[in-house]
Amino acid sequence: MLLSTQTARLQSKFGYEQAIKMLAAAGYDAYDMSFFHPLSSDDPLYSENFIKYAESLRKIADEAGIVCNQAHAPFPSSTQERGQDEPIYKSILHSIKIASILGAKNIIVHPKQHMPYRQNAELLKKINIEFYKSLIPYCEEFNINVAVENMWQMNPIGNNTIVNSTCARVEEFCEYIDEIGSDRVVACLDIGHVSLCGEDMSVMIRGLGKRLKALHVHDTDGYRDLHTLPFTASNDFSLVMKLLAEIDYEGDLTFEADSFFKNFPLSMYQDVANFMQITGRQLIKMFEENKAK
């Protein structure tokens, strides 16, 4: 199991190259490249020379002793705005190509959830299965897997409470993966989102079983999508690691916990990255101890 974390916070403050070097210096095995935003002329990975730049990042990573294990495509994957979805789709395809150059095994692509889930679950399922199937040829061309993520959305009525969305329930999550029916489309379980939607962690992880190939690991208080470091909020990570060992999970442990950096000064970011890496090693130790039982 490789220990990995997203690049989002560090690359926004220091740029891609320095972010990779900082994560390598912190002791991570791998990094999760964050392509959170659609195509932008200001981003060197979206420039005319993006292939050369991506190749240069891979060389930097190789020299630093770290690999790209996964990536995160731009999101949201759809909107309710006329004319917006085609540019978003092009950005997703572009990110798949870059992720492949960097060496990623998986790229997380959010399901479409541009309408209230409760009233439109079946329609969204139809739209999403077609959407993910359309990505399979690109996965095959670039030798990478697309990972579906369990989602939440805001209640359109009330006081900004979180409610279920696509794949929040294990039955639907499994149906998506099974109905798409390709080894190129796998499951990425966001640990925090499980808690936010009130799903039982045991039911979710056991239900996904071998469909589960990637993780977003972070902590939450059950009310807000905090994306903070494990052991600092309310999730039971002893249980999480026990369950992952029980299903013989074969993927990596990837943090999506960059909000932990938020209140620290930039001068401490390397120290924060170091501490987060130590926390990740503890989680992997817990996983391995459960596997040995």
What is the model's pLDDT at position 71?
Answer: 98
What is the model's pLDDT at position 13?
Answer: 97
What is the model's pLDDT at position 123?
Answer: 97
What is the model's pLDDT at position 273?
Answer: 98
Contacts for 175 with CB less than 8 Å, ≥ 6 apart: 125
Strands 185-190 and 152-154: unpaired
Taking Cα atoms as reference points, which of 26, 30, 4 lies closest to residue 268? 26
What is the model's pLDDT at position 27?
Answer: 98
Contacts for 35 with CB less than 8 Å, ≥ 6 apart: 45, 71, 72, 73, 74, 91, 95, 98, 99
Q: Are 256 and 225 in contact (CB under 8 A)?
A: no
Q: Tens place of pLDDT for every residue, the chain, 293 residues?
A: 999 999 999 999 999 999 999 999 999 999 999 998 877 778 999 999 999 999 999 999 999 999 999 999 999 999 978 788 999 999 999 999 999 999 999 999 999 999 999 999 999 999 999 999 999 999 999 999 999 999 999 987 777 789 999 999 999 999 999 999 999 999 999 999 999 999 999 999 999 999 999 999 999 999 999 999 999 999 999 999 999 999 999 999 999 999 999 999 999 999 999 999 999 999 999 999 999 98
Burial 58-81 (b: 16+ CB within 10 A, else e): bebbeebebbbbbbbbbbebbeee
What is the model's pLDDT at position 155?
Answer: 87
The full set of domain ranges for the chain reads: 3-292
Taking Cα atoms as reference points, which of 198, 207, 202 lies closest to residue 178? 207
Residue-wise pLDDT tens digits, 160-182 = 789 999 999 999 999 999 999 99
Q: Are 217 and 256 in contact (CB under 8 A)?
A: yes
Please state the pTM of the whole predicted model: 0.96
Topology of the domain comprising 3-292: TIM Barrel (3.20.20)
123's tokens: 């329609």
What is the model's pLDDT at position 40?
Answer: 74
